[in-house]
């Protein structure tokens, strides 16, 4: 264990650690020029003082959605006398219509926001402020799908355009889930008139270039060799093309080497860091899931541990579950919590989205196993998934009986 003096000593590995942060926006965003251009194109009408189309940006965690959006916002701030007024809202923090409106008002009318007015007052103040000189308000809603009353928020923001004679509101929504719009009420959907932009996962070659760029300024010369960067890039590409994952592994490997007082990072440290980061990121993803996704995943973890009502299929050490038994367990748990379980169509969507995030694997059984049915396999240790979800859903006490 390091002493305090050792902790305070100059790093043998790092030169500038902040460039390794997921919140750092580099001067050049690698492999995302097409996506940046699409965001610029969507914002251009607003910068000219015209109402633009709303833009919804989708993609897995770590594909550069937020970085590219913030990169373009920095470009916008450098444009003098623009009619566009920008509000960036992190919906993990501002997760309701009232909180979003209060944040937007605080950005542009801070004195008014402190007076404790409600949503209707904020709405009227914003519409007057926009109309007074034909402003275009651009609201960026990052992690938009976590807003509790999303229908109300979308409808209210888009309604401003109907209630004003000059100026307008443009929405840019950012989400990890391509299908989140399908949960919206038709009333909200009909007002959107949006363009969509999907960010693909990074390839290994692109992740390598990202790492190489950050290593050049974040690490001391000669501390990270090509082999280490190629290994980390390949591992992150295999796990879904997540640049945050790659940077997290690189940072952790650097910390391990630093703690040893080493002069460079070895493959051994990269391999160990990869295992640790993979585990940490999975549990971060689990914590970010919507409630009913969590209940389905919790059902899968319980059944994998041995509580299924049907026989499980075992192939070596792997356990596969019938989709029907997972759905039945999910309904039972939801009802035990006093919540209305979603129908099978929504359940299938939850399974598909969790498979996209690498939490589970599913496939059709083929003939011979209770007819045609879907089989589901949990991709991570059920004990840990169960523990994380119980702390989140039930305060660590386990599911209610049902």
Query: What was the pLDDT predicted at 88?
Result: 97
**How remote is the C-alpha of 375 from its chain's centroid?**
27
**In this structure, are 244 and 278 located in the same domain?**
yes
**Gap between the Cα atoms of 129 and 140, Å rounded:** 18
Q: Is 387 helix (H, G, I), strand (E, B) or coil?
A: helix
Give the end of a domain, one of 161, 176, 198.
198
Q: Which of 55, 34, 56, 29 is nearest to 243 (CA)?
A: 29
Mean pLDDT of 114-136: 90
301 or 275: which carries more pLDDT confidence? 301
Count of structural domains within the chain: 3
| Domain limit, last residue, from 160, 176, 198 | 198
**Residue 8: its pLDDT value, please?**
47
Element housing 205 (H / E): helix 204-218
Per-residue b/e over 182-206, b at no fewer than 16 CB within 10 Å? eebeeebeebbebeebebebbebeb
Please tell me whether residues 224 and 365 are part of one structural domain. no
The residue range of the domain holding 86 is: 33-198
Tell me the C-alpha distance between 89 and 98, whole Å: 12
Query: Can you read off the two tokens belonging to residue 386?
Result: 């169960």
Query: Is there a single domain that holds both residue 249 and residue 278?
Result: yes
Q: 193 and 64 share a domain?
A: yes
CATH of residue 370: 1.10.10.10
Q: List pLDDT tens digits, range 12-59.
A: 999 999 999 988 999 999 999 999 999 999 999 998 888 888 999 999
- Kindly state whether residues 189 and 54 are assigned to the same domain: yes
Average pLDDT over residues 189-198: 84
- Structural contact between residues 72 and 40, judged by C-beta atoms closer than 8 angstroms: yes
**pLDDT reading at 271 higher than 90:** yes
Q: At what angle do helices 226-238 and 243-259 cross, to 10 degrees?
A: 140
Assign 3-class secondary structure to 264-286: CCCHHHHHHHHHHHHHHHHHHHH
**Burial class of residue 36 (count of CB atoms within 10 Å of its CB; 0-12, 13-18, 19+):** middle
Last residue of a domain, one of 264, 287, 310: 287
CATH assignment of the domain containing 271: 1.10.8.60
Rounded mean pLDDT, 81-100: 92
């Amino acid at each position: 264990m390091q002493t305090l003096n050792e902790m305070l000593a100059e790093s043998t590995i790092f030169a500038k650690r902040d460039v390794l942060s997921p919140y750092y926006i580099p001067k050049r965003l690698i492999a995302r020029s097409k996506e940046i251009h699409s965001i610029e194109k969507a914002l251009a009408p607003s910068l000219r003082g015209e109402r633009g189309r709303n833009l919804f940006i989708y993609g897995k965690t770590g594909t550069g959605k937020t970085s590219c959006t913030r990169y373009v916002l920095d470009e916008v701030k450098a444009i003098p006398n623009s009619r566009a007024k920008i509000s960036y809202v992190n919906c993990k923090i501002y997760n309701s219509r009232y909180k979003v409106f209060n944040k937007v008002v605080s950005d542009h009318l801070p004195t008014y926001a402190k007076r404790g007015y409600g949503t209707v007052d904020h709405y009227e103040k914003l519409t007057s402020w926009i109309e007074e000189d034909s402003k275009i308000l651009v609201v960026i809603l990052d992690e938009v799908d976590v807003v509790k009353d999303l229908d109300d928020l979308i409808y209210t923001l888009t309604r401003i355009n109907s209630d004003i004679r000059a100026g307008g509101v443009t929405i840019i929504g950012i989400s990890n889930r391509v299908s989140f719009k399908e949960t919206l009420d038709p009333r909200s959907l009909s007002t959107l008139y949006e363009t969509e932009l999907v960010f693909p996962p990074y390839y290994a070659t692109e992740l390598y270039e990202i790492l190489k760029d950050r290593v050049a300024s974040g690490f001391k010369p000669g501390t990270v060799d090509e082999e280490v960067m190629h290994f980390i890039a390949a591992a992150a590409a295999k796990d879904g093309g997540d640049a945050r994952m790659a940077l997290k592994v690189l940072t952790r490997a650097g910390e391990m080497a630093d703690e040893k007082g080493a002069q460079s990072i070895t493959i051994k440290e990269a391999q160990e860091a990869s295992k640790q980061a993979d585990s940490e990121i999975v549990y971060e993803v689990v914590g970010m899931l919507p409630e009913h996704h969590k209940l389905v995943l919790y059902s899968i973890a319980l059944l994998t541990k041995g509580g299924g009502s049907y026989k499980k299929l075992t192939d070596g050490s792997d356990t596969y579950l019938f989709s029907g038994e997972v759905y039945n367990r999910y309904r039972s748990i939801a009802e035990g919590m006093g919540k209305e379980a979603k129908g099978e169509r929504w359940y299938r969507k939850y399974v598909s989205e969790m498979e996209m995030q690498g939490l589970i694997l599913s496939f059709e059984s083929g003939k011979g196993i209770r007819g045609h049915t879907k089989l589901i396999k949990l991709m991570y240790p059920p004990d840990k998934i169960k523990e994380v979800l119980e702390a989140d859903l039930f305060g660590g006490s386990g599911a209610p009986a049902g």
